[in-house]
Amino acid sequence: MIKITRVDERLVHGQVAFAWTNSLGADCILVVNDDAAADKIRAATLKLAAPAGIKFSIKSVEDAIVLLNGDKTGKYKIFVIVGNTDDALKLAENVKEVDHINLGNMKKTEGRRAITNSLAIDDHDAENIRVMVQAGVVVECRAVPTDKEIDAMSLI
């Protein structure tokens, strides 16, 4: 069962690994990122940030879609982490259980506008969010689980 899917450019770090995993009661972290799946050193580094006793896996977007639509994940409470709204949208479009997206951390860069202290989006991200919401996906903004959920559409 997928507990939540989080967009966080940093992927796995202390805040994600401990606060979110504990809050969700997750026993599995699945990082869905093509670059991290292809880079063994980065994958090993990300795995070091995972809490002890939590199953941890890194998959490409396509491999994750196959995995999450299969039978092997049913026994887990999965916290899915992606690095961008493109990957979140692909999962939402292709995996029925991806019905709640948390926008957690997207840094301010040229061309992006801040919508919260930890989130900055561009027009492409805004369109991805609109498409997900129109498909019935809950898209909310929170840096940490104790923050109040803010509807992403109210900010864009």
Catalytic, out of 13, 55, 107, 124? 13
DSSP annotation of 16: I
Query: What pLDDT score was predicted for residue 52?
Result: 87
Query: What pLDDT score was predicted for residue 16?
Result: 72
Q: Is the pLDDT of residue 150 over 90?
A: yes
Residue 143's H or E segment, with its range, is: none
Residue 60: phi and psi, rounded to 5, are -70, 165
Q: Is the pLDDT of residue 13 over 90?
A: no
Query: What pLDDT score was predicted for residue 61?
Result: 98
> 24-65: per-residue pLDDT in tens?
999 999 999 999 999 999 999 999 888 889 999 999 999 999
- pTM across the whole model: 0.94
CA distances from 102 to 7, 39, 99 (A): 6, 25, 10
Amino acid of residue 23: S
Mean pLDDT of 105-118: 93
Q: Which CATH number fits domain 2-154: 3.40.50.300, 3.40.35.10, 3.60.20.30, 3.40.50.1820?
A: 3.40.35.10
Euclidean distance between CA atoms 8 and 105, whole angstroms: 5
The position carrying tokens 């969010």 is 129
Among 13-17, 30-34, 39-43, 93-97, the minimum mean pLDDT is found in: 13-17
Euclidean distance between CA atoms 105 and 9, whole angstroms: 6
**Residue-averaged pLDDT of the chain:** 94
Query: What pLDDT score was predicted for residue 50?
Result: 87
For residue 13, indicate whether it is catalytic. Answer: yes
